[in-house]
Amino acid sequence: MKTEAGNLLADVDAQFERAAVYSHHPRGLLDQVKMCNVVHRMSFPVRDDDGSIRTVEAYRAEHSFHRLPTKGGIRFSPDVTEDEVCALASLMTYKCAIVEAPFGGAKGGVCIDPRKESEGFLERATRRYVAELNRKNMIGPAVDVPAPDYGTGEREMAWIVDTYTALNPSQLNPFACVTGKPISLHGISGRTEATGRGVAIGIAEATASAEDMEAVGLTPGIEGKRVIVQGLGKVGFHAARLLREAGARIVAIAEYDGGIASDVGIDVEAVQQHRAETGSIRGAPGTRTIERPGPVLEMECDILVPAALENQITADNANRIKARVVAEAANGPVDSVGDAILRERGILVIPDLFLNAGGVTVSYFEWLKNIQHVSPERLTSRYQEVATTRVVKALEGATGAHLSDQDFMKAVKGPDEIDLVEAALTDTIIHAYRSVHETWKSRSMPDLRVAAYTLAINRVAQSYAVQGIFP
């Protein structure tokens, strides 16, 4: 199935159609599941640092209203297009369906380059973008809830919540209007690393199967696997860090301005430190520098983790990829032609709509925390501690064994917020992978991506069928 090179929307739609063959829904319903329901294109004035006025173009796409609110990140990039945000919003709908987060998909994009703009300009553009969304009722805890994406983070989410709160003073749950906020502004522990953590958990789960690994010529497990990561941003950094903690060897990293490699493995945190000091990963201690990022993807490794942007593995380079597993941490890093080539070459692709769903999963927990006005552990932690203390004391009494004070405290301690978030994220990703895997194997589908799309399409279509179509 050929699509126009570089068109993510055409690629997502092509993948949808590959999966639609496995569903038994009427064509009209499939079209409703597939089409982006609302797109708002806006342009607005933003004052530059020298007092002049610049016009900024931006979008918000709300792909599906089968669940509300809609949910999806905001991307700051000069290359953002309407088609791109529609494609990313579609992926959000399917992703939420796979991890059973009760949202429709959405995505926002603002055509600015955060690397080139001043903090003041970025703040004014962000606040004005929120005002434009608010004007159209396209932001709010019950309607549409943004989050971080490429080029945005906690800082932008803080500006968003502050602007929304100022514009909606009588809202009961204003903090639930956006997720990925700093902890001090009602964010949740573990959100920053959630997508990368989900990627690491998903790769661990996918590579645990001896049968699937034998099919690609690898031994099961993460331990000792050679990994290459493209993009050391919010997703790539935490994925690389956690894969390394799990025993993988990070043999190369690509960034927009070049790459680094080391056969003995890269200390990812030291590289991040070097980047903070010098502005680049190039020249990081203990690594050799590679002039351009592209060739890094084609180096020898077991697992390739593209975690930067879409359309990185295409007809141009898919034949030269040496990895046996490609783990799509970014959205759409493999286009549909590249995907077909990897499939023919027997490479296992772990698809984006499953693999990077850890971010929206923890965003869901943050949104719940905000509408409930309480952290998840607050009502239960002390109770669990008291209950476990009773059990441990009873066991000590019955057996005569005694724990040291330190072991006792460790055994009975109630959970903190981060403990609950990490446990629930792990559970969600593992459960989602098993559902996708079971769909793949039980219906003899060609690959995991078709299985993931099929699962998502069925869940969204079923919810339309149960609700009925209004009027």
Measured from the CB atom, the residue of 127 and 238 that comes closer to ligand NAD is 238
Minimum distance, C-beta of residue 221 to ligand NAD, in the bound complex (Å):
25
Instruction: Locate the DSSP E strands across 248-382.
Output: 249-255, 258-261, 288-290, 303-306, 325-327, 348-350
CA atoms of 442 and 75, how far apart (whole Å): 37
CB closer to ligand NAD out of 247 and 279: 279
CA distances to 60, 88, 179, 327 from 423, rounded to whole Å, are: 32, 27, 19, 22
Per the annotation, the verdict on 107 as an active-site residue is: yes
Of the two residues 15 and 356, which places its CB atom closer to ligand NAD in the complex? 356
Cα distance between residue 179 and residue 71, in whole Å: 9
CA dist 344 → 211, 338, 339, 349 (Å)? 18, 10, 9, 11
Q: How far is the CB of 427 from ligand NAD (least distance, A)?
A: 19
- In this structure, how many other beta carbons lie within 10 angstroms of the beta carbon of residue 262? 18
- As measured in angstroms, the least distance from the Cβ of 446 to ligand NAD is 24
Which residues contact residue 216 at a Cβ distance below 8 angstroms, ignoring those fewer than 6 apart? 324, 325, 346, 347, 348
**CB closest to ligand NAD, residue no:** 233
Q: Of how many residues is the chain composed?
A: 471
With vertex at residue 216, the alpha carbon angle to CA 211 and CA 222, rounded to the nearest 5 degrees, is 75
From the candidates 95, 107, 181, 369, give the one annotated as an active-site residue: 107
Select 205 or 212, whichever has its Cβ closest to ligand NAD: 205
Q: Which residues of this chain interact with ligand NAD, rule CB under 6 A?
A: 73, 148-151, 195, 230-236, 254-256, 293, 307-309, 329-331, 356, 359
Q: Give the nearer residue to ligand NAD in terms of CB position, either 309 or 436.
A: 309
Closest CB 254 distance from ligand NAD, rounded Å: 4
Q: 48-83 as b/e, with b when 16 or more CB fall inside 10 Å?
A: eeeeeeeebbbbbbbbbbbbebbbbbbbbbeebbbb
How far, in Å, CA of 78 to CA of 76, rounded? 7
CB of 241 to ligand NAD, least distance (A): 13
State the catalytic residues. Answer: 107
